[in-house]
Structure 1
Amino acid sequence: MSNIFLKALTGLLFFPFTANAQDVSSITSDTDSQNNSSINWQNRTSDFGPLPPGMDVYSFEGMYQNKPFRAFYVIADPRSGILQIEHDTTQNRRLSPAGFYEKNNHPVLVVNTSFFSFKDNLNLNIIVNRGRLLAYNQHTIAGRGVDSGLYYHPFVSALGINKKGEMDVAWTFTAKNKRKPYATQWAPPLIKDSSTTFLLTNAKSSTTIVNHSSFSTQLHRWKMQTVIGGGPVLVQNSTINITNNQERKFAGNAINDAHPRTAIGYTKEGKLIVLVIEGRNPGIAAGATLTETAAILVQLGCMEALNLDGGGSSCMLVNGKETIRPSDKEGQRAVPAAMVWKVKGEK
């Protein structure tokens, strides 16, 4: 139960912004008249207020891609000097988003983030808070089926925010004997071998194969104050680019299954977007595939974006109020980490 496939199996039922957002934003596809692909986002900020200036909430409920659809997104500028964006983790235990809300003295936003192991309640992806590495990537995953006896060694995609509030999506490597994470700006090919370990030397050698003129391909120290890992990447260079084959998050055709989703990205204007999509709610919300989620993020203006833990884990609170309805019958699922947005100066 400690690998990402079992987390996906249990949590997701998978096998192995614009800078000047209007009160009503519209997302449409070329086949609107055929499959109800129009999303008319409604500004819901007043329903969740009071919120700090520059932070807005949007929602949509209706038909999308010929299925019932319900989603929310929040948008804000990390450079505004108003918000303190942090990650909170628990030690060998889990809290519901409402629990994180109380633990953090009622922040304006709480949202689930990284994948985790149900067996030991450990995060399986990188988490950095205030420059401190709190959780490490899982870089060795046992193969299955024809790959039994072999091991996968993926790099984990993450979104980082530096001291200036500037954002980046990269593929990361973490080592427990290193205080800082490493990153590369391209998705390294998935490594498969018989080794049960994947060391920094292996990671560095695997990222020196490609020489790209426009960005750094080599593994380097990633100097970010805030980092949250998940995967796979959904958007690169403002286009859909799903790197599931490199990250090995979902097996087979699982990326084509519709489920609740949580995703995060940023726009060229430097706005941060967090998107949650409700699912497994018959007649109201069917969920979304990874490709549909990526398309929505592109149409919201994201330059880069990645998937976070979804399924029953998907939940976002704004001022303590639920946005989407969690899909677990018990309600909000307890998770070992959450992103929280706090208003600077408030305790």
Structure 2
Amino acid sequence: MKKNLIYNLLFITFLFAWSGCGEKTAQTDFDFRYVTSVEVKRPEALDVKTDNFMRTVTIQFPMGTDISETEISITPAESVKMIEPSNTISTYNLTEEASFKIQKGNEILTYRILVHFASLSFEPPSDEWEKRNDFGTLPDYLSVYKYIKSISGKQVQAYIAVADISEEKGRFRVLGEKTGYQTPKQFYENNSRPGIVLNGGYFWSGTSLGLMVRDGQIISGAQQTVYRDYNGTSTEYYPTQGAFGTNPDNTFGAYWVYESGNTLYTYPNPSPNKAGEQPQPIPSSDFPEGAKEWKPQHAIGAGPLLITNGEYKNLWEAEMFDIQSGVGPTANHPRSAIGYHPSGHLVLFVCEGRNKTPNTPGLTLKEVSDILLGIGCIEAINLDGGGSSCMLINGLETIKPSDGSQRTITNAIAIY
């Protein structure tokens, strides 16, 4: 009995010692910090987390931050050295997949850099916009405001729908196909009843005339052709026109675009066409200068482009939206537009016109641009207007369509 007791005590002591040593070794391996700290020098980051077990660094930025040249300082643990890049402070392009490598002894480890964006609050000026709650229940990431001022003596019936499109919140979608007709109400009812529906780009005889991209697939290409008189002959022009869509970093941009050789290009300036003058060459990878390939997940084309990089543009003449186009850039009309705010919000705009409400003739493109700039939009394009202008909130009309009822259109945009 005594002998068995001694054996048992020895066995228990051995187990305790063995398990204690095992836990110590495992704990040391698990908790060893190959990287002791990571700091974002510029631009400003909201949060930085390092996971030595998963070999990741997760950085959270305010929505709209330019992360193409992000300066990061990495502090390796003792006896750990940087391999790629070799410097502890380096600049990374976080719009693409990014990582760094370190070495501990003979082992080389790769840390991935992951990026997340967080939306900031957005409220339009209270002396110009009144928040409205008369369109039923909306999710917390959607808000609706009505314009409460006059412009140049004109009464204005205008609304904006503001959508937080940060991760796991509002989703921007392009509705419709290359051909076909539906009213905005039908788009709403046939597409799972999105919170916001706004008419989209231009069309003719049931065919979309501009860019439509959905889930990375081009539904309608950007190969715009217009005809104008040149030396007494109807002549083809190939303008680069405005488009609005997603960027790789989850922001949105407004661009002059053209599709050439099955590749969609953006340009820093539009092709300098002008009605009555010799047409410019067909846009390509070489013309206009500065072409860049663009692969948006979702995009809509229309125009003219109104705002890019926070600057007013509205180069309607080069985009061939002259008097013959029917857009009437300097005249009063019902208008629709979409913009992006650096807080991470989309702004969908619509205004009434043609005096459906007395003394409400509508707005010029410059006036629409001024409104969007006034609420802080840094990217925006004009959408189809006139009788097509119609925005639905929970399926309910905001303005009175100038045709007297909703026009059948070929495409629309939606926020879910």
User: Quick check: TM above 0.5?
Assistant: yes
> Do the aligned residues in 1 keep the contact of 2:124 with 2:375 (CA within 8 Å)?
no
Q: CA deviation at 1:91?
A: 5.2
Q: Which residue in the other structure is 1:169 paired with? A: 254
SS of the counterpart of 2:284? Answer: helix
In 1, distance between residues paired with 2:279 and 2:246? 35
Residue 203 of structure 1, CA deviation: 2.0
Please say if 1:83 is aligned against 2:164: no
Aligned mates of 1:147, 1:240 — CA distance in 2: 34
More strand by share: 2
- Cα deviation for residue 131 of structure 1 reads 0.4
User: 3-state SS of the aligned residue for 2:219?
Assistant: strand
| Aligned residue runs from structure 1 range 124-135, under 5 A | 124-135=209-220
Match of 2:364 in 1: 289
Deviation beyond 4 Å, 4+ runs, structure 1 = 191-195
1:300, distance to aligned residue in structure 2 (A): 1.1
Q: Deviations over 1:84-120 (max 9, x none)?
A: 2111113532000000011102111111010111x3x
Deviation at 1:282, TM superposition (A): 4.6
Query: Is the 1:24–1:43 Cα contact (8 Å) retained in structure 2?
Result: no
Deviation at 1:255, TM superposition (A): 1.6
Larger Rg: 2
Q: Which one of 219, 241, 259 corresponds to residue 313 of structure 2?
A: 241
One-letter amino acid of the counterpart of residue 67, structure 1: K
Secondary structure at 1:246's aligned position in 2? coil
1:190 to 273, 286, 290: 273
Report what 2:381 is aligned to.
Answer: 306
Residue of structure 1 in register with 2:240 after alignment: 155
Post-superposition shift, 1:263? 0.6
C-alpha distance in structure 2 between counterparts of 1:325 and 1:291, whole Å: 22
Q: Describe the shift of the 1:143–1:160 C-alpha distance in structure 2 as closer, same or farther (beyond 3 A).
A: same
> Could you list the per-position Cα deviations for residues 282-312 of structure 1 after superposition, in whole angstroms to 9, with x for gaps in the alignment?
5152210011111101001111211010000
Question: C-alpha displacement at 1:151, in angstroms?
Answer: 2.2
Q: How many residue pairs are counted as aligned between the two chains?
A: 293
The percentage of counterpart residues that share the same residue type is 31
Relative to 1, partners in 2 of residues 1:238 and 1:109: Cα closer, same or farther, differing over 3 Å?
same
Q: Which moved more, 1:80-89 or 1:249-258?
A: 249-258
TM-score (norm 1): 0.78
Which position in structure 1 is the counterpart of 2:284? Answer: 203
- Greater alpha carbon shift after TM alignment, 133-142 vs 300-309: 133-142
Of 230, 233, 253, the residue aligned with 2:302 is: 230
The code of the aligned residue for 1:206 comes to F
Name the aligned partner's letter for residue 219 of structure 2.
L
Q: Of 55, 59, 64, which residue of structure 1 is paired with 2:142?
A: 55
Q: Classify 1:340/1:22 alpha carbon distance in 2 versus 1 (closer, same or farther; 3 Å).
A: closer
Where does structure 1 lack aligned partners over 5 or more consecutive residues?
1-17, 27-39, 209-217, 343-347
**Is 1:190–1:245's contact at 8 Å kept on the other side of the alignment?**
yes
Alignment partner for residue 185 of structure 2, among 84, 98, 103? 98
Name the CA distance, whole Å, in 1 between partners of 2:124 and 2:253.
Answer: 27
Instruction: Assess if the C-alpha contact under 8 Å between 1:142 and 1:148 holds in 2.
Output: no
Q: For 2:207, which of 116, 122, 125 is the aligned residue?
A: 122
- Match status 1:267 vs 2:341: yes
Residues 171 and 415 in structure 2, CA contact (< 8 A), matched pair in contact too: yes
1:305-342 Cα offsets, whole Å, 9 max, x none, are 1101000000001111111111102x000101011222
Q: Distance in 1 between matches of 2:224 and 2:178?
A: 21
Q: Distance in 1 between matches of 2:279 and 2:335?
A: 33
CA distance in 2, matches of 1:91, 1:125: 9
